[in-house]
Structure 1
Amino acid sequence: MLMRLSHDIGLIFYDIVIARFDIWAAFGVLAQFVFGARFIVQWIASEKAEKSVIPMGFWVLSIVGGLMTLVYGFIRRDIVIILPQLLSIFIYIRNLMLIAKEKRRVAEADLPT
């Protein structure tokens, strides 16, 4: 039984990594790396500030990685990827809008009257 399982796992691995790997699979893997890099950016910024912070780079990587993943989902015609990415990208953009609004509010408050 274990021999059969190890053989089947080997075939699945071969199918995913070798037989079915194409330019779009490479693009999808790259999209996931870009998307995942945002957590490294957030972690470094938090360590420097010695508190939890979410820098602008986190949102930029979220949007870029999300858009790349969305493209991958459309190419693969995978609704499980497409729907959550559409919602997520909207949330990331909305966060950037809120950040810009706050910066304008602070800038206006700093103006001499």
Structure 2
Amino acid sequence: MMHFFKVTTRAELLWVIFGFFAQAMFMMRFLIQWIASERARQSVVPVAFWYFSLLGGLTLLAYAIHRRDPVFIFGQALGTVIYLRNLWLIHAAKSPAA
């Protein structure tokens, strides 16, 4: 298996497995959004979409930092800020003060 993933140590193999987990969390947001839209018969973005975006983005960011990939780091870091801001806005709108 290590040869297939082009890694030479067990630690690197665990990072690759972590990277696949991160990508799966990020991908789940699309599945959730698609299912919610199909049920509503219109395009909707459920709150879970933003939570999976944040979880997937943060885990992918950790993987990108480990791999020292500046392009990947920049993309995930910026996305994480946007996901946090959307969750902030959603929860602020639901608070009694709003």
Please list, as runs of the form range in 1=range in 2, the aligned pairs for 1:66-105 lying within 5 A after superposition.
66-104=57-95
Aligned residue number for residue 34 of structure 1: 25
Aligned residue number for residue 3 of structure 1: none
Q: Could you list the runs of 5+ residues in structure 2 that have no partner in the other structure?
A: none
TM-score by length of 2: 0.84
Q: Structure 1 residue 51 and structure 2 residue 42: aligned? A: yes
Structure index of larger Rg: 1
Percent identity between the two aligned chains: 45
- Residue identity in the other structure for 1:47: E
- Residue identity in the other structure for 2:78: L
Q: Structure 1 residue 19 and structure 2 residue 6: aligned? A: yes
Aligned residue number for residue 5 of structure 1: none
The total of aligned residue pairs comes to 93
- Residue identity in the other structure for 1:61: F
d(CA) in 1 for partners of 2:73 and 2:54?
Answer: 14
Query: Structure 1 runs of 4+ off > 4 angstroms?
Result: none
